[in-house]
């Protein structure tokens, strides 16, 4: 099988996308995985006094990918997409509408088939210090780490039920998403990394709130447990930009599962290339 590309946390930076588009045209991968935090900051859009809406999804992403689709024809890759905690959920309807054209497949909270593998997507992350809560959930309980803002106390770009805000958890969402199906050949794309791994290490060393030291690991316990207990083939992650720099690692093996992160805190595009038939041979390049 030809190589798959995985990128995450591009945050609307045009130079990173332009590099990605060129690489797609040159290398013609079989699939592209876009792992969230793809758009300009959602919180900035909410706070802005400039009400002129910039349609980044249609005017940039859809336009350029449609051009690639026309140029590549049958060689155009499957494109799997989720959003992330810095992406405004008000853009979700636009993302879903664009999916009807075949330019990508929106897979948050969904399962699709690809080359003999099930592909699952899930965008939500545990509570953060940030105020945009469109894609934040309690993790395995209603506990919130010191320094973080509870889901009830933030802002949203679209309404959500009070019950879902207060009692929804990543643990329950993942249980519903995967059910009792075998996922040992599945590829799961999350925005959050698993908790207490080399992929979720934040730059919080020595920092305290009310004399309580902050946990330097900010990933999801629910995702970590799912990986350990269910052992999918590959998991894809982003969210914690500095983790690879701090730990020196962008990949980790958890049992049989190969976990990859494409988050990066430099200006380059961090591109993970992998083949589901040989995940141990995956590479990550800064471009």
- 52-69 pLDDT, tens digit per residue, is 557 999 999 999 999 999
SS3 assignment for 208-266:
EECCEECCCECCEHHHHHHHHHHCCCEEEECCCCCHHHHHCCCEEEECCEEEEECCCCC
Q: How many domains does the chain have?
A: 1
Domain that holds residue 115: 4-286
Cβ-contact 1, 275 below 8 angstroms: yes
Each residue of 64-95: pLDDT tens digit? Answer: 999 999 999 999 999 999 999 999 999 999 99
Three-state DSSP state, 163: helix
What is the pLDDT at residue 44? 58
**Spans of the chain below 50 pLDDT:** 49-51
**CATH number, domain at 264?**
3.60.21.10
What is the pLDDT at residue 54? 74
């Amino acid at each position: 099988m030809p190589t798959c590309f995985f990128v995450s946390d591009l945050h609307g930076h045009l130079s990173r996308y332009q590099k990605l588009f060129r690489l797609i045209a040159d290398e013609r991968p079989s699939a592209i995985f876009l792992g969230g935090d793809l758009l300009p900051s959602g919180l900035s859009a909410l706070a802005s006094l400039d009400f002129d809406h910039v349609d980044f999804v249609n005017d940039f992403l859809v336009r350029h990918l449609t051009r690639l689709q026309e140029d590549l024809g049958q060689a155009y890759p499957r494109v799997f997409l989720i959003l992330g905690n810095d992406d405004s959920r008000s853009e979700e309807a636009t993302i879903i509408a664009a999916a009807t054209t075949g330019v990508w497949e929106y897979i948050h909270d969904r399962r699709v088939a690809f080359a003999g593998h099930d592909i699952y997507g899930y965008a939500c992350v545990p509570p953060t210090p940030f105020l945009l809560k469109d894609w934040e959930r309690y993790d395995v309980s209603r506990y919130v780490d010191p320094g973080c803002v509870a889901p009830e106390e933030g802002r949203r770009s679209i309404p959500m039920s009070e019950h879902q805000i207060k009692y929804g958890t990543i643990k329950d969402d993942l249980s519903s998403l995967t059910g009792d199906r075998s996922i040992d050949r599945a590829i799961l794309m999350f925005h959050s990394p698993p908790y207490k791994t080399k992929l979720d290490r934040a730059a919080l060393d020595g920092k305290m709130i009310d004399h309580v030291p902050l946990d330097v690991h900010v990933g999801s316990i629910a995702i970590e447990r799912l990986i350990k207990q269910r052992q999918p083939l590959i998991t894809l992650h982003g969210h914690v930009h500095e983790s690879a720099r701090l730990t020196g690692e962008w990949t980790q093996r958890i049992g049989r599962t190969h976990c990859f992160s494409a988050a990066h805190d430099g200006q380059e595009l961090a591109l993970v290339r992998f083949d589901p038939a040989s995940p141990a041979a995956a590479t990550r390049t800064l471009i």
